[in-house]
Amino acid sequence: MHPAFSVILFTTASGAGYGLIALTAIWYALGRVPVTPAFGLCALGLGASLVTLGLLASTFHLGHPGRAWRALGQVRSSWLSREGVAAVATYLPLAAFGLGWVFALLSPGAVVAAALLAAVLCAVTVYCTAMIYRSLKPIHQWCNAHVVPVYLALALMTGALALDALLQIWGRPDRLLTALAVLATVLAVILKERYWRFIDATSGASTAGSATGLAGLGTVRLLDPPHTGSNYLMREMGFQVARKHAAKLRRIALALAFALPLALTLLAALLASPLAVIAAVLAVVSALVGVLVERWLFFAEAKHSVTLYYGAASV
C-alpha cells in the first residue's frame, strides 16, 4: 500500500496523545502526579494537541476532507465511523477532567470519574483505529491477530515515555511509571518482532488462481496487464518496497523506536536533573521518530489482493 504521510502522522501522533492522556488520568486517580494546575494544563494540553493534530492529519487523506463528518453515521458497519465517534466522545470527559483539574470546577470525586472515563475512551479509540486495518480482509499484512496488540502497545509505550519525561521536567520522577515505560517498550518490541516474523513467514489465502476462479485448472499467470499505463489502483495498492530497503528500515525502527528510548529511559532513572530531563525528552523524541518509520513500513509492506490481477502470484 502507498504510505500516505497524513495517515502515518495520524496513527503516530494520536496514539501517543491517547496514551499520554490515559496514563495521566490513571496516575492522577492514583495520586502519583503533581496536582498543580500547571502540570495538568501541560500534560493534558500536550495529549489533546497530539490527538487533535493526528485527527486533523487523517482528514487530508480523504478525497473531500470537508465531508469527514459524514463518516460518523456508519457506526453499525464501519470501524472508521466507530473510531470517529469514540474520538469525539473522548473530548467530553477529557474536557471535564481538564476543567476540574486546572480550574477546580468539579468535586474531586467527579474529576477522578471523568479521568477514568477519559482513559477508557482513549483505549477504545486506539482499539477502533487498529480495527480499521485489522478488519480489511484483502490485506493479509493487516488482517491478522498481531495488528491490534501492536497498536495498543505502541500507544502505551509512547504515552508512558511522554508522561515520564514530563514528570522528570517537573522534578517528580516516578519509579513506577519508569518501570511501566520500560516494560511497555519491551512489550512493544516483542509484539512488533512477532508481527514481522508472521508477515515474513505467511502469505494471504488468495492467489492468482483463486482470484480468477481458475485455481483448479493448473498454474495461472498473467498474459496481458489490465492497463497499459499507470492507474490509481497500482499507485495506491500496488506500492512495493524492496526487501533490502525494508530490512534496513526495520533496523532503523528497532533502534529509534525501542532500543534507544529504552536505554535513555533507564539512563534518566540513574541520572540527576538536568541530565535526567534531557535523557527522558530524547527518549520521547527518538520513540516518535522511530514509530513514524515503523508506521511507514506498516503501510509499505502491505499487499492488497487487487495486485493479483496485475501479475502478483500471491499476497
Considering the domain delimited by 5-310, tell me its CATH architecture.
Up-down Bundle (1.20)
Look at the block and give the residue holding cell 499507470: 230
- Using alpha carbons, list the distances in angstroms from residue 203 to 13, 140, 142, 149, 240: 30, 7, 11, 20, 15
The more confidently predicted of residues 219 and 106 is 106
Report pLDDT for 218: 65
Give CA–CA dist 58/89, Å, rounded: 17
209-228 mean pLDDT: 66
pLDDT, one tens digit per residue, over 128-175 is 999 999 999 888 899 999 999 999 999 999 999 999 999 999 999 999
**Model pTM score:** 0.92
User: Residue 269 has which C-alpha cell?
Assistant: 532513572
- Using alpha carbons, list the distances in angstroms from residue 110 to 88, 93, 96, 195: 20, 10, 9, 40
Report pLDDT for 155: 98
pLDDT, one tens digit per residue, over 235-280 is 666 667 767 888 999 999 999 999 999 999 999 999 998 999 999 9
Report pLDDT for 309: 62
Q: From the CB of residue 266, how many other CB atoms can be counted at a distance below 10 Å?
A: 16
Report pLDDT for 74: 80
Give CA–CA dist 82/73, Å, rounded: 9
**Contacts from 135-138 at CB under 8 Å and sequence distance 24+?**
135/79, 138/206, 138/304, 138/305, 138/306, 138/315
pLDDT, one tens digit per residue, over 99-139 is 999 999 999 999 999 999 999 999 999 999 999 999 998 88
